[in-house]
Amino acid sequence: MSHETRMKALVKTAKGKGLVELRSVPVPEIGPGDVLIEVKAAGICGTDLHIVHDAFPYWPPVILGHEFAGTIAAKGRDVQGWEVGDRVVGEPHTLACGRCWLCRTGNRQICPSKRSPGWGIDGCFAKYMRFPEPGLLHRIPEDMPFEEAAFVEPAANVVRDVLERGRVETADTVVVVGPGPIGLMAAMAAKAGGAARVGVAGTNADEGLRLSLARSTAAVDDVWNVQKEDVPAAVEALTGGRGADLVVEASGSEGGIGLAARLVRKMGRVAAIGLTGRPDVRIPYDALMSKAADWIFNMSTSYTSWDRAIHLVHTRRIDVRPLMTHVGGLERWAEFFAALEDKKGIKGIFVP
C-alpha cells in the first residue's frame, strides 16, 4: 500500500439526530490478525440513514458504512489464505463472541456481542478500513466491477430472506411490497429461484422512479400502485382466488405490513425484510391466524447466502446496474442521503 497516513471518512460523531460529518482521520493501523482493505466501492444502506436519525444502535464516534467491495492493501502477520491485492467483499458479523448459543448454532450474525463495521466498529465510508476477521471475507471474480460487488451484502440479505428462509419454490407467485433496492433485488432473486410470477407493489411516492424501474425489470411481471389499484383483488385474480404463495414485506411501513397480511394465501409465507424504525406497529393478527400463514422475521445474512449472492450479482440474474442512481465521492454524502430519503434515488454508491 502507499504511505498515506490520513484519509477522508464519513463519521457519525456523537449520539443524537444528525451529527454526521466528513472528517480527516488517520489511516487505520492493523494488528497481527487483521487485514487492511482499500475500499473501491461502498453502498449506502437504509441502516446508515437510520443511524443518521438516531434510530439504530451505534457506538460513536464511528465511520459509517458496511456494504463494501475492495482489495486487500495490507495483512497482519498471522493472516493465512489471503494476499495483498485479493479482490474481496465481507460479511459484517465482526466481533461475535463465538461462545454463545447463537454463535455455536451457526448464527453469529445475530450474536448479541456482534459489532459490525459502520455502527459497532469503523466502517467502509473511507478509503481504507481495518477488517478484524479475514474469515468473513469472500473472493469476487476478476471481471466483477467493484460498484456491482458493493451490492453483494444487500443481495446476500435477499438470498437469505427470500430463497433460504422464504423458501421460494418452482411456479410460486411472489409479491414484493416496497420497491426500494432490497425489494427490487428480492423480486429478481425470487425469479432466479424459480418463481413463475413476480409482482411488485408501491405507492404514489414510488411512482416517479421506483415503480418505473420495476416495470422495466425483466424479472417483474406485474407492478401495482396501492393508492390507485386494488392490489388484493388483482392478486386474487392472478392466483384463482388463492393469494400469493410468498409475500416479501420490504417497505417497513405499517400499511405495507397490513397489505402483506391480506395478500398471502392460506398456509403461505411472508418474509419480512423491512425495518420500521418504530417501537410498535399494528398488524391484523387474527387475519393471519385464520390463514395459518408463516410470518418469517429476518435479520442479516448467513454464510451460505454470500457465495450465492456473488453468483447472482456476477451473472446479473440480480442485475444491480439499474439500481445505481447515485455514484460519486464521499464529499457528496449529504446530497446522496437526501435523495435516497426523498425516494429520488434507489441506491447510492460511494467511490472513495
Residue 254: pLDDT over 70: yes
In a domain, 310, yes or no: no
Amino acid letter, 131: F
> What pLDDT, on a 0 to 100 scale, did the predictor assign at position 2?
56
Concatenating the DSSP letter of every residue in 225-279 gives: ETTTS-HHHHHHHHTTTS-EEEEEE-S-SHHHHHHHHHHEEEEEEEEE----SSS
| Co-location of 164 and 140 in the same domain | no
pLDDT, tens digit, 9 for 90 and up, residues 124-143: 999 999 999 999 999 999 99
Give the domain CATH number at 270. Answer: 3.40.50.720
Distance of alpha carbon 335 from alpha carbon 155, whole angstroms: 24
User: Which of 119-123, 261-265, 280-284 is predicted least confidently?
Assistant: 280-284
Q: What is the mean pLDDT of residues 102-115?
A: 96
Residue 1: pLDDT over 80: no
| Co-location of 120 and 203 in the same domain | no
Residue 278: pLDDT over 90: no
| Co-location of 92 and 29 in the same domain | yes
| Co-location of 196 and 271 in the same domain | yes
| Co-location of 100 and 25 in the same domain | yes
Amino acid letter, 64: L
Closest CA to 216 of 298, 292, 321, 129: 321
| Co-location of 50 and 89 in the same domain | yes
220: how many CB neighbours lie within 10 A of its CB?
A: 22
More confident residue, 55 or 351: 351
Give the domain CATH number at 24. Answer: 3.90.180.10
CA dihedral (134, 139, 145, 148) positive or negative: negative
C-alpha cell at 341: 430519503
| Co-location of 142 and 185 in the same domain | no
Residue 265: pLDDT over 90: yes
In a domain, 305, yes or no: no
In a domain, 329, yes or no: yes
| Co-location of 129 and 40 in the same domain | yes
| Co-location of 109 and 187 in the same domain | no
> Distance of alpha carbon 150 from its chain centroid, rounded?
10
In a domain, 1, yes or no: no
In a domain, 312, yes or no: no
| Co-location of 138 and 272 in the same domain | no
In a domain, 208, yes or no: yes
> What pLDDT, on a 0 to 100 scale, did the predictor assign at position 82?
98
The parent domain of residue 38 ranges over 6-151+320-350
User: Number of structural domains, the chain?
Assistant: 2
> What pLDDT, on a 0 to 100 scale, did the predictor assign at position 352?
83
pLDDT, tens digit, 9 for 90 and up, residues 183-221: 999 999 999 999 999 999 999 999 989 999 999 999 999
Assess contact for 181 and 250: CB atoms under 8 A.
no
Q: What is the DSSP letter of 106?
A: T
* Residue 153: half-sphere exposure toward Cβ, Cα within 13 Å: 31
Residue 247: pLDDT over 80: yes
Q: What is the mean pLDDT of residues 74-93?
A: 97
Q: What is the mean pLDDT of residues 37-66?
A: 95
| Co-location of 230 and 111 in the same domain | no
Residue 277: pLDDT over 90: no
| Co-location of 81 and 190 in the same domain | no
